[in-house]
Copies of this chain bind each other. A is one copy, B any other.
Amino acid sequence: MIQTLEWTERGVRFIDQTKLPTEEVYVDCTTYQEVADVIRNMVVRGAPAIGVAAAMGIALGVKNSKAESAGELRRELDHICDVIGKTRPTAVNLFWAIRRMQQKFEAVRMLPAQQIKQALIEEAQRMHAEDIAINRAMGRHGSALMPASGGVLTHCNAGALATAGYGTALGVIRAAIEDGKKIHVYADETRPFLQGSRLTAWELMKDGIATTVISDNMSGAMMRQGKIGAVIVGADRIAANGDVANKIGTYTVAVLAKEHNIPFYVAAPISTIDLATPDGSEIPIEQRNPAEVTHIAGKAIAPEGVGVENPAFDVTPAKYVTAIVTERGIARPPYDQSLATLADDASQPTSTAS
Give A contacts to B, CB under 8 Å: 21-22, 155, 188-192, 194, 197-198, 201-202, 205, 210-222, 224, 248-249, 251-253, 255-256, 258-259, 293-294, 296-303, 305-311, 314-315
Contact = CB atoms under 8 A, between A and B. Distances in A.
Nearest to A247: B217
How many chain copies? 2
Given A191-B191, A300-B22, A301-B198, A293 B255 contact: no
A173 to B, nearest CB: 15
A313 to B, nearest CB: 9
A294 B197 contact: yes
A241 to B, nearest CB: 16
A212 B309 contact: yes
Nearest to A185: B307
A153 to B, nearest CB: 12
A165 to B, nearest CB: 19
A199 to B, nearest CB: 10
A249 B314 contact: no
A216 B253 CA distance: 11
Given A296-B297, A297-B296, A301-B194, A307 B211 contact: yes
A308 B222 CA distance: 12
A45 B224 CA distance: 26
A215 B197 contact: no
A156 to B, nearest CB: 9
Contacts of A194: 301
Contacts of A220: 249, 251-252, 255, 314
B197 A248 contact: no
A22 B294 CA distance: 12
A308 B296 CA distance: 19
A158 to B, nearest CB: 15
Name the 9 nearest CB pairs between A and B, nearest first.
A217-B249, A220-B252, A212-B307, A191-B215, A221-B314, A297-B299, A216-B217, A197-B302, A21-B303
